[in-house]
Amino acid sequence: MKRQDALLSIAVDLTASLASPHRLSRLLDALRRAIPCDAAAVLRLDGDELIPVATHGLAPEVLGLPFPRREHPRLDVAVAQAEPVIFPADSALPDPYDGHLSATPDGRCTVHSCLGCPLLEGGSVVGLLTADAVEPGAFDNLDMEFLRMLGALAGAALRTGRLIEALERAADRHQQVARDLQRDASTRGGSQILGTSAPIRRVLEDVSVVARSDFAVLITGETGVGKELVARALHQASDRRDEPLIYVNCAALPEAIVESELFGHVRGAFTGASADRSGKFELADKGTLFLDEVGELPLSVQPKLLRVLQEGEIQRVGSDAALRVDARIVAATNRDLQREVDAGKFRADLFHRLNMYPICVPPLRDRRTDIPLLAGHFLDLYRRKLGLAPVRLTSEARAALVAARWPGNVRELDHLLGRAVLRASAGDTAGSPILIEVEHLQVDQTVVTTPSAGDDQAGEAAVEFRGRPLSEAVEEFKRTMIRSAVAEHSGNWAAAARSLGMARGNLHHMARRLGLRDGE
């Protein structure tokens, strides 16, 4: 009777106006009522990878893990046969969820009962429904006909969920285009924007709104939050996606050559110009030009950039001829450009042109619910690079990650987890699941809201600078903070940059501008 009720529940949900996550959650609930199990998952087939879209009884980071068929033979067998498969307890094929079950505190227990039920749509496999149990033989008495009906209904539920999701996003694009973009993002490695929190959903909504236009976009946010990923997402979702996305790091361009790099030059324009050369704008014609760290552009070049935005014309250095270019401008900065305008260091008219559609990428501390998913993604990347067995976090390690300050944001999380995987795998037996403990992370567990010495310095500096012009006070405050950070880290500028939440190159550049590194 329970099994009939489960099928009825799924069938009723097919006609209900449920959001995709709720629909899949109810699907797993129905499965668990019909089939007692310790863990269950719905996976969507995307090319040769199975992507988890809903889980129960598995570690949270599993939702961030792709499962390539060639690396997981049990999943591959279920997809290839297009029929339900119950694996014997003594099967020699490794289970994809070993080390990821939440049934025990450390997750090291192994799966002894496993079934895979293909989700079918028009006779084709579109995903898998999996159930796992620690007890051997838990699924031996299941009726295969029931599993076939379950797979057909669950496949229809997955399809209905996708259609509703497409309608909710007002997607007038074809499904094939969306799949192509997803495949392109996955092949680039780490180029997809991961997260389900409200702040990151707002970013994705902004990308969806502005991508199809040619509006200039200004992406702001702290160092390491993933501004370049947003720029890539904008380009890939635009009508220019088949044309080049040209990247320019404005902070890395010496002032003497920045104009030539952006606009090109003709032979003989200056010493060393032995041939005509196209600039970045010409290379980006019909495509997108991404100006990273645009706040570092010298004032002397800003009027020429403004002209391109206004007129769509450039002039190569040493040439009087105007060239038409059609490049969509996406810029990014970790500076407060409005404050730079007020201080006379950035042109107001250029700022307003670039800021036609602003997108602010949230710091990691404002999207802590995304940390387990991001951690799962990075752990799997390092697992593949190092050729390791499954890697998972202990609950204490996961809590430490969620509570940390993260001044370096997602980039810091990525690098920290890479080091943690190396430490955890150093003493492990080859082929056994790897457990990341708190001591492997070596993470600063001081929560971001905790007062720090830097906060006290900020308060003291505010009192000291009161009554002085704002621009002068800001410059002196920066000098004070940089001196303090460098002294605190015994002259190590890289460590000082991390503590200030900046890239090392940006810190060196700022220090020279503020007169702290004259002659270096």
The bridge status of strand 49-56 relative to strand 67-68 is antiparallel
What is the identity of the amino acid at 328? R
Same domain, 415 and 303: no
**Residue 180 scores a pLDDT above 70:** no
Question: Which uninterrupted H or E stretch holds 438?
Answer: helix 438-441
**Residue 183 scores a pLDDT above 70:** no
pLDDT for 69 equals 93
Q: Where are the beta strands (DSSP E) in 88-184?
A: 113-121, 124-133
Q: How far apart are the first and last CA of the chain?
A: 79
pLDDT for 489 equals 73
Cα–Cα distance measured from residue 152 to residue 337, given in angstroms and rounded to the nearest whole number: 55
pLDDT for 190 equals 46
Same domain, 270 and 385: no
pLDDT for 67 equals 94
The bridge status of strand 39-46 relative to strand 49-56 is antiparallel
Residues in the chain, total:
520
pLDDT for 171 equals 37
Burial 130-167 (b: 16+ CB within 10 A, else e): bbbbbeeebbeebeeebbebbbbbbbbbbbbbbebeee
Give the pLDDT confidence of 313-322 residue by residue, as tens digits: 888 888 877 8
Contact 63, 74 (CB under 8 A): no
Q: Assess if residue 417 is contained within a domain.
A: yes
Cα–Cα distance measured from residue 334 to residue 330, given in angstroms and rounded to the nearest whole number: 14
Helix (H, G, I), strand (E, B) or coil at 302: helix
Question: Which uninterrupted H or E stretch holds 473?
Answer: helix 470-488
Same domain, 220 and 353: yes
pTM over 0.75: no
Q: Assess if residue 100 is contained within a domain.
A: yes
pLDDT for 35 equals 80
Burial 259-296 (b: 16+ CB within 10 A, else e): bbbbbbbbeebeeebeeebebbbbebbebbbbbbbbbb
Question: Helix 20-34 vs helix 144-168: angle between axes, to the nearest 10 degrees?
Answer: 170
- From 242, 172, 257, select the one nearest 208 (Cα to Cα): 172
When the pLDDT of each residue in the chain is averaged and rounded to a whole number, the result is: 80
* Gyration radius of the chain over CA positions: 27
pLDDT for 447 equals 45
Same domain, 103 and 235: no
> CA dist 64 to 67, 210, 411, Å?
10, 27, 16
Query: Of 296, 331, 360, at which residue does a domain stop?
Result: 360
Give the pLDDT confidence of 58-106 residue by residue, as tens digits: 888 898 889 999 999 999 999 998 888 998 888 889 888 888 887 655 5
Give the pLDDT confidence of 363-372 residue by residue, as tens digits: 999 999 999 9
**Residue 324 scores a pLDDT above 60:** yes
Q: Assess if residue 53 is contained within a domain.
A: yes
pLDDT for 123 equals 78
Residues of the chain above pLDDT 70, percent: 79
**Residue 374 scores a pLDDT above 80:** yes
The model's confidence at residue 3, banded by pLDDT at 50, 70 and 90, is low
Lookup result for tokens 């790091």:
249
Contact 356, 310 (CB under 8 A): no
Lookup result for tokens 């308060």:
459
Same domain, 415 and 301: no
In 10 A of CB 456, how many CB atoms?
A: 10
Same domain, 157 and 74: yes
Q: Assess if residue 194 is contained within a domain.
A: no
Same domain, 467 and 407: no
> CA dist 59 to 55, 215, 398, 410, 428, Å?
9, 41, 10, 20, 20
Give the angle 66-68-70 at the CA atoms, nearest 5°. 165
Mean pLDDT within 215-238: 94
Give the pLDDT confidence of 415-428 residue by residue, as tens digits: 999 999 999 988 76
**Residue 356 scores a pLDDT above 60:** yes
Select the highest-mean-pLDDT range: 32-36, 227-231, 432-436. Answer: 227-231
- From 351, 299, 338, select the one nearest 513 (Cα to Cα): 299
**Residue 462 scores a pLDDT above 50:** no
Contact 103, 84 (CB under 8 A): no
pLDDT for 38 equals 86
Cα–Cα distance measured from residue 239 to residue 481, given in angstroms and rounded to the nearest whole number: 44
Backbone phi and psi for residue 67, each to the nearest 5 degrees, phi listed first: -120, 90
Beta-bridge mates of residue 119: 127
> CA dist 119 to 130, 136, 151, 160, Å?
10, 25, 5, 12
Dump the DSSP string for 271-282: TT--S-B--HHH
The model's confidence at residue 165, banded by pLDDT at 50, 70 and 90, is low
Lookup result for tokens 């863990």:
39
CATH code (residue 286) = 3.40.50.300
pLDDT for 220 equals 95
Same domain, 402 and 427: yes
Same domain, 16 and 155: yes
- From 397, 357, 359, select the one nearest 376 (Cα to Cα): 397
**Residue 169 scores a pLDDT above 80:** no
Instruction: Answer left, alpha or beta for residue 133, where phi above 0 means left and psi between -120 and 50 means alpha.
Output: beta
pLDDT for 16 equals 52
Cα–Cα distance measured from residue 44 to residue 225, given in angstroms and rounded to the nearest whole number: 28
Q: Assess if residue 244 is contained within a domain.
A: yes
**Residue 358 scores a pLDDT above 80:** yes
Q: Assess if residue 318 is contained within a domain.
A: yes
Q: Assess if residue 192 is contained within a domain.
A: no
Per the structure, the count of domains in the chain is 4
State the residue range of the domain holding 497: 453-513
Give the pLDDT confidence of 119-147 residue by residue, as tens digits: 887 778 888 989 888 888 888 888 888 88
Query: Of 360, 379, 412, at which residue does a domain stop?
Result: 360
In 10 A of CB 92, how many CB atoms?
A: 7
Query: Of 168, 184, 215, at which residue does a domain stop?
Result: 168
CATH code (residue 12) = 3.30.450.40
Same domain, 101 and 214: no
Give the pLDDT confidence of 482-505 residue by residue, as tens digits: 887 787 777 788 878 877 777 777
The model's confidence at residue 161, banded by pLDDT at 50, 70 and 90, is low
Same domain, 116 and 137: yes
pLDDT for 519 equals 46
- From 289, 284, 211, select the one nearest 250 (Cα to Cα): 289
Cα–Cα distance measured from residue 94 to residue 77, given in angstroms and rounded to the nearest whole number: 12
Q: Within 13 Å and on the Cβ side, how many CA atoms surround 84?
A: 22
**Residue 293 scores a pLDDT above 90:** yes
Q: Assess if residue 187 is contained within a domain.
A: no
pLDDT for 412 equals 94
Same domain, 124 and 53: yes
Burial 324-339 (b: 16+ CB within 10 A, else e): ebebbbbbbbbbebee
